[in-house]
Structure 1
Amino acid sequence: MISIIKKPFRYQPAGNPAIFQIESNNPDIVYFEVKVAEALTEAILINQRYFIRPNYVTGVSFNLSNVLTNLVQLKLNNTINLAAAVEDATLSYKLIITEKVNSSGSLINGSVYSDVNLYTVWDGSFDRQLFSLFNPDDYIVNSNKLAKFLSIKPTISNQSDNSLEHLHFLNGDNLATKVRIRTFDKSGNQLNLVAEELPEGLMIKLNVSPRNLTEVLGIDFSSVGYYKIDLLNLDDEIISETKQYNYLVESCNLEPVNFLFTTSLGGVESFTFYNPKQSINTTKTTLKSNVLQLNGGVYSDNIAGVLNQTDKIISSVSKSTYTVFSNPLTDSETIYLKELISSQNVYVENSLNDNLIPVTIKNNNYSVALRKTSGGKLNRLEIQYEM
């Protein structure tokens, strides 16, 4: 008989340890064949062998995080829809375990264990300290406590008339049925209240920038001082944290550049930099040519008043590097922007058509210069990116 002694959380980030420990009471066990199957279709995703060892003759332990990470991918969706399901960023799976036992020198199948439990991962990788405190109810919408969005920004942050903002969350059992948007003037008087239906799906993306809320819902931000976003269940009860965005109007002498980047929590974050400066690096391939060429039957290095080329450029490849600058950062912005430097997926918005363009951040070092530890000195971030 096969027993599962240790298993990961029912929900957890794919990049964090997903450790199973299994045992058998069959003394002739040689190894376990472990198949990881997709939860609904039972399609086999992984087929591994785990052999027993002299110091543990009844069982094995293994970590599936390395293979699970390759099976999920958060892909950005830049449509104007207020809410959209994100399909490829999550995976639900189960284990099918078979004993391989020694019978008179032959290897035969022993017991088969089909785990009735389902395990779900998403495209995230919490840092070690944060994962040591991990509780699925903190990040999966549930009936026990208010769930968090997959956002590294503080509860209160800023948005402008030009900025982007995507919020991702994990909707366990589709308990959240509506997203609620409330706008307020600077004195705290409520101006608008809109509750929109959510699509079904485990991971949901909300597009809640002021300009998108204006385009999709017709909300007028001319008198708005701040707005709030939260999730409601069927009984219109709040089942998530409430995000508050202070609304700012950009100065007309600044040229904004909006960044979107994936984070370790498994969501997408945004930030606006300003005034891009472009530098171009060109690589040319040349071919030497003979300066003496026939001209009316006579070799000459001058044809019709134009000197012949000594080097002919046969190809030219240019790469642009841009430098952008932030406004003075708060300490919370300074802390979460370290994820922009380490993110594997960074995009900037094309101001001409709002499309997202993948870029590579050139900064490799980042100093987390907090005001509280630097005598109140203001900190601006300079970012270089290549496209």
Structure 2
Amino acid sequence: MNALPTPDFQLNGDMKARRIVVAMSGGVDSSVVAGLAAATGAETIGITLQLYDHGAAVKRAGSCCAGQDIRDARAVADRLGISHYVFDHESRFRESVVERFADEYMAGRTPIPCIQCNMGVKFTDLLQMARDLGADCLATGHYVRRMTGSDGRSELHRALDPARDQSYFLFATTDAQMDFLRFPLGDLPKPQVRALAQQMGLINAAKPDSQDICFVPDGDYASVVRKVRPDADTGGTIVHIDGRVLGEHKGLIHFTIGQRKGLEIGGQPEPLYVVKLDAATRRVVVGPREALATRAAQIVDMNWIGGAYEGPMEVKVRSLAKPASARIEGTGADRRLVFLRPEYGVAPGQAAVLYAGTRVLGGGWIASTEPVEPALAA
């Protein structure tokens, strides 16, 4: 077998005296990380979190931390000759991620459960487990890069492969967490990772990537919200921004800011989009595309990685959005993100993640938005 690459786990001294804990989801990425860690000579321990009950998990093949995934992680650990532990985190995951996901939709916001999972179940809980096991670091399969800045502080950077970059979902990582985390796949393209898995003889080398939120494997968000909050289907009216009532809907959970399809209000002279979700009145407010133009957003729970930053920056307001030039004004509850050009489809509940080149400066949660006057949005 050809020699494996030797990614820098950024640990000083003899690797044989080091202990690396790897977060193993059962997917190919984290499995390769475990293989690379073991190849350094360090003692390697895999940890998998069970996030679903056994009965439901068995049916969730292809999602994260489900029944088949746990079996795959164990098989990989056996193949690599490393220790592997499974911890039951179903209750914690339900309370901190699934229930919050449902509540955000009920409140007319668009949640991002993957960030909440990283903030709590994964980075907070797993990191503490790794420390309890005496690890020198916690390694994950995220496609991002950890670098050391000129001031010696840990920085988070985009992955080398932009198609795989996951930095948007890690904006809430704290400085203390960054010092302990390692991301050895940040410099690798996905085809090479799969080739490494085959070279290692891993059972999941060709396993498909999960495409949906792990607890919504079929993409039906509304059904998940209904199970958690049975009153989620309370309907209301669909109203044009000029005040006209255009129809009725079956629940705010079926809509997101910027949505055009599925409104069921045909016969309109122009395409209409969801521009606001009013949870208090259960109204879905629609309007032309220019009504989606946003000039600023209130940002809460701001997190800076590697210290505060002053200088040109860009922001992503959705994981797949193109970075847009912006600046931060104010502090605390008065902090505003101001776009240098109108930005479209900015939704409360989403994250605003700030960048300077490849470096992730940090970010916060979008609490509210300020529209641009239609005449200025062209």
Fold conserved between structures, TM > 0.5: no
How does the TM-score come out when normalised to structure 1? 0.23
Decide which structure has the larger Cα Rg and report it. Answer: 1
The structure with the greater share of residues assigned to helix is: 2
With the length of structure 2 as denominator, give the TM-score of the two structures: 0.24
More strand by share: 1
